[in-house]
Structure 1
Amino acid sequence: MTTPIRRMSKRMPGWAKLVSAVVLVLIVFFAGIRLSVLPGLKDLFGTETHDRSGPALLESIQDLSRYDAASGNFQVVVDLEKDAKYLPDAIRGTRTLYVGAGTVDAYVDLGKVAKDDVTVNEDRTTATLHLPHAQLGKPALDTDRSYAVSKQRGLLDRLGDLFSDNPNGEQAVQKLATKHIGDAAKDSGLTKRAEANTTDMLEGLLTSLGFKEVRVSFGT
C-alpha cells in the first residue's frame, strides 16, 4: 500500500514577516528622499532653462485717482499644523514654520471728491477740502523676503510629494501670512498716517499756488 505524500506548506515565521514589513517601509521612505541629497548627483546630467513664454498682452488700462499716502512693512511668523485623525504625525501630518514679510499701502481716493467738497473764498486765499477717509489696499506678500524655517511631513505626505505637480507647496502658509499681515495693518494706525500725509501734501501744494490757508477734513 502506497502512503500518500502530503505537501507541507511552509509558513513564514512571525519575526520574518515583521522584518519584511520594516524593510518595505524603509524602501518606500527612502524613495521619497530627493536625489539631490547625493553629492554630485544633481549636476550629473546637467540642466538648462529655456523661457518659451509668449509676449504679454495688454488687456485693459485704468486711470488711477487714488493718492498712496503711506505704506507699512510687516512681518509675521506662521505656525501651521495639519493633523490626521487616528494617525500619528510620523505617518500623516504636516507642520510648517514660515516667516512672511509683506507690505500694505494706505491711500485716499481723490476720485470720490465732488465739487461741493472743495470750496474757495472770493479772494482765493483760503481753500477748504473735504476728503473721504483713507483706506487700506490689499496686502502684498514679498516672496523674496519670506521663507520657510522648518517643514515636518509625515510618511504619506512625503510620498504624495512624489506624485504632486507642486511638491512642498507653500500656498497655505502664504495665504495665511497674507491674511495676518492684512489684519495687522488694520490695527497699525496706517490710515491715520495716510490722512496726515495727504493733508501735508495738499497744504504744501495749495500754498505754493498762493493760498494762505488750507483746511483739510476727512469723512464718509
Structure 2
Amino acid sequence: MSRNGDVNQPTREFPEYPADSASTDPAPAARPVAEPDGPDDAGRRGPARGLLLVLGAAALVVVVLLGTQVTGLWPSWRNPFAQETTDRSQPPLLKSIRDLSRYVAAEGNFQVVVDLETDRKYVPDFLLNERTLFVGAGRVEAYVDFSKIAEGAVVESADGKSVEITLPAPQMSDTNLDIEKSYVFAEKRGLLNRLGDVFADDPNRQREVYRLAEERITAAARDSELAARAEANTRKMLEGLLRSLGYQTVTVTYTKP
C-alpha cells in the first residue's frame, strides 16, 4: 500500500517489516558440507574405475558373441566372420522318360571289400605306392520284363478254368552303389604320390575302386539265389491274381535266359 493513503494508486514499494521479526523464524536446518576427496581416495578410485570399464567391455563382447550364436536371441545381429554356404548348382535337366513294364520280384543287398594296390617294380613302396581298402555297399534288383512277353504266351483252357503263362527269365539290374554306406576304410600312399597331389589332385582317383566294387557285386548277385527268388515271387503273384479272376489252375513257366 502507498504511504499517502491513496488506495487507488499502485503499490510502489514493499512494506517494511520490523527488524526483530526475522528472529522469530526457525533456524534453517544445517546442510552437510561435502569434503573434497583427498589424494588417497583419488588414488584408490582411479584403478577401480578402470577395472569396471574393462569388465563392462568384456561383458559386452560376450553378449554380442552369444547373441550371434543363440538363434532367435538377437536376430538382427550377425557374426561378420560366420561361415556361409552358397549353392550355385544348375537346375536338373530331364533327358528322357521311359515307360517301365518290369515287375521287381526280388532285391539283394550286398557288401564287398576292395583291396586295390598299385606300385612300380624296383621302386620302394614308401616312395611310389598306392593301396586302398574300400568297403562298397550296393543293391541289385531281379525283375521280370512283361513287355517281352511273346504272342501266344498266355494259353487258356477250353473250359476257362485253367491258364498257362510263359514269361521271360528274370533279369538283373545294374548295381546301385550306395554312396552313404560305402567308404574308404584305409588308404596308403607313397611320398611321391602325396607330393603329386599337392600340384595336381586327381578327383577321379577313387573311380577305379568304385568300378571294381560294382563289378564284384554284380557277379555276386548272378551267383546268388536272387533269380530263383524272383521266379518264385512272380509265380506267386500271378497265381493269386489269376485265381481271383476265376481260374482254378495257373501254370507259370519261364523261358531260358
Instruction: Identify the TM-score tier after normalising by the shorter chain.
Output: 0.7 to 0.9
SS at match of 1:116: coil
2:82 maps to 1:57? no
TM-fit CA distance, 1:46: 6.1
Aligned length: 176
Matching of residues 1-16 of structure 1 within 5 Å: none
Which has the larger Rg?
Answer: 2
Unmatched segments (≥5 aa) in structure 1: 1-44
TM-fit CA distance, 1:183: 0.9
TM-fit CA distance, 1:163: 2.9
Counterpart selection for 1:116 from 152, 159, 162: 152
> CA–CA distance in 1 between the matches of 2:201 and 2:237?
50
Task: Compare relative contact order (CA 8 Å, sep 6+) and give the higher one, 1 or 2.
Answer: 1
Counterpart selection for 2:104 from 63, 68, 71: 68
Aligned CA distance change for structure 1 residues 100 and 115 (closer, same or farther; 3 Å): same
Residue 210 of structure 1 corresponds to 246
Residue 38 of structure 2 corresponds to none
- Give the letter for the 2:143 counterpart: Y
> CA–CA distance in 1 between the matches of 2:207 and 2:252?
43
Counterpart selection for 1:126 from 159, 162, 169: 162
SS at match of 1:108: strand
Higher deviation after alignment, 136-145 or 164-173 = 164-173
Instruction: Calculate the aligned-residue CA RMSD, in Å.
Output: 1.7
2:219 maps to 1:186? no
Q: With structure 1 as the length reference, what TM-score do the two structures score?
A: 0.75
Identity of aligned residues (%): 53
2:129 maps to 1:93? yes
Deviation string for 1:155-204 (max 9, x for gaps)? 11112222335458321111111111111111102111101111011011
> CA–CA distance in 1 between the matches of 2:104 and 2:156?
25
Residue 74 of structure 2 corresponds to none
TM-fit CA distance, 1:47: 4.3
SS at match of 2:152: helix
2:191 maps to 1:155? yes
Aligned CA distance change for structure 1 residues 186 and 111 (closer, same or farther; 3 Å): same
> CA–CA distance in 2 between the matches of 1:66 and 1:48?
45
- Give the letter for the 1:90 counterpart: F
Unmatched segments (≥5 aa) in structure 2: 1-80
- Give the letter for the 1:218 counterpart: Y
Residue 103 of structure 1 corresponds to 139
> CA–CA distance in 1 between the matches of 2:197 and 2:204?
7
Aligned CA distance change for structure 1 residues 90 and 170 (closer, same or farther; 3 Å): same
SS at match of 2:236: helix
Q: Which runs of 4+ in 1 moved over 6 A?
A: none
Query: Do the aligned partners of 1:161 and 1:168 also contact (CA within 8 Å) in 2?
Result: no
Residue 41 of structure 1 corresponds to none
SS at match of 1:195: helix
Residue 211 of structure 2 corresponds to 175
Aligned CA distance change for structure 1 residues 121 and 168 (closer, same or farther; 3 Å): closer
Deviation string for 1:68-99 (max 9, x for gaps)? 11110111111111011221111111111111
